[in-house]
Structure 1
Amino acid sequence: MRKLLRAYLVLGSTNCRDHPLRVLEEALTGGITLVQFREKGPGALTGEPLRALAVQLQAACRRRGVPFLVNDDVELALEIGADGVHVGQEDEAAARVRDRIVDRILGVSAHTFAEAEAAVRHGADYLGIGPIYPTASKADAKAPQGPGLIRELRARGITSPLVGIGGITTETAGEVIRAGADGVAVISAVTQATDVQDSAARLYAATAADLRP
């Protein structure tokens, strides 16, 4: 699981400069190791167009052997046979999602030690920690907490795989890894890049294993 979190891409039709499939294919070529389909916000797809895009993106991931997760929508994930689900604190309870998806990957967002501890107890395979830095990708994002939150979780005994998220760039990814994260999750750093493949490759390079404490 830790290796899969190294260069984690979150994308949907609302945050890509180009068609999401083209963005994803370039990002995968650049070295992205895990993909989360997050279709939310103004103009987000619903119904059959949503499902069709999910199937397209999942197929691209499968061709590269990269796991494909769905954000929040357990029904969609089960319908298309996704590799897992990621949920936030305001989404369906992690314990219930764990029961529904059985042995698929479960990721849970956490913003505090208490949330992280509960997510681990309820069966999370990894925790998404953040927002680390200010981000414009989520209108409802909480206040950024910096890499110090990851250090705190490690110091207080959270040993589960952790991925930092929120405003992370190729320039700041190393700082997040040095704080104790196993990887970084990005949206705009890749989906809004003029050269998606290069951005993904630089992100992968910035999360080198030898940076970890």
Structure 2
Amino acid sequence: MKDFRLYAITGENFHPGRDLIEVMTEAIAGGVDWIQLRDKTSAREELLRKAKALRELTRKHGVTFIVNDHIDIALEVDADGVHLGQNDVPLVEARKRVGDKIIGISTHAIGEAILAEQQGADYIGVGPVFPTKTKADVVDPVTVSYVREVAETIRIPFVAIGGIKLHNVDEVIRAGATRICAVSEIVGSADVRGVCQAFIRKLEQGGAHLGTHR
């Protein structure tokens, strides 16, 4: 699994009138190195079309491609992995289906993070750090205290997610995060590339005094 710093998740509702591939191409140009297709509403045929297009784009640029929830879609387009929530297919069953592909798990408490690590997750999502309206079924914010707890406890890679913006990301980095995920702040921006570059700069600046936190 290639390491990463900036993880973008699709959110077409944040860029009406702009093409998905156009927006994600700009994100890659700005420094995004992982992309996740998350689409809770499209029919399977449309979801597959988007997955194929994103797989082609990410392969062209050497970017890791993850599919949210849909293991069958991930396998069909040869995505690099899947991301699962706490109420999705159990990790052990997912591993049987995807083999050595990447499996990421969303976590909201340290017990979930520890279990995901023990069961063989390749990385975990840590959040939502701040309030977010990106998803309808979002849980209460875990705050930066959970980021700090994970940084001190968990040895597999983790990515902080949820309500992260340029104005509050420094707080997340100071808590120990070296990988950041954003949705609306990236894909909803009028300058997708510029926002991504700004996130990368903040990660680089924060890393100088954060030591070797995962």
Normalising by the smaller structure, the TM-score range is: over 0.9
| Distance (whole Å) between structure 2 residues aligned to residue 154 and residue 184 of structure 1 | 13
Shift of 1:2: 7.4
Measured in 1, the distance between the counterparts of 2:66 and 2:209 equals: 26
Conservation of the 8 A alpha-carbon contact between 1:11 and 1:38: yes
Deviations 1:163-196 (A, max 9, x none): 0000001222232122122311110001110111
Aligned residue for 2:173? 177
Residues 26, 196 of structure 1: 8 Å contact kept: yes
| Residue of structure 2 equivalent to 1:31 | 31
SS at match of 1:59: helix
Structure 2 stretches lacking a partner, 5+ long: none
2:203 corresponding residue in structure 1 = 207
Paired-residue identity, %: 37
Give the superposed CA RMSD.
Answer: 1.5
TM-score normalized by the length of structure 1 = 0.92
* Residues 14-53 of structure 1: pairs in structure 2 closer than 5 A: 14-17=13-16, 18-40=18-40, 44-53=41-50
Indicate if the aligned counterparts of 2:164 and 2:181 stay in contact, CA closer than 8 A. Answer: yes
Letter in structure 1 aligned against 2:104: G
**Partner Cα distance (2:177, 2:171) in 1:** 9
Paired positions, count: 208
Question: Aligned to 2:82, what secondary structure does the other structure show?
Answer: strand
The question of whether the paired residues in 2 share the 8 Å contact of 1:174 and 1:211 is answered with: no
**1:111 and 2:108 matched:** yes
CA contact (8 A) 2:109 2:142 kept: no
| Matched residue, 1:62 | 59
Per-residue deviation, residues 189-209 of structure 1 (Å, max 9, x unmatched): 011101111111111212113
The CA distance in 2 between the partners of 1:211 and 1:82, in whole Å, is 35
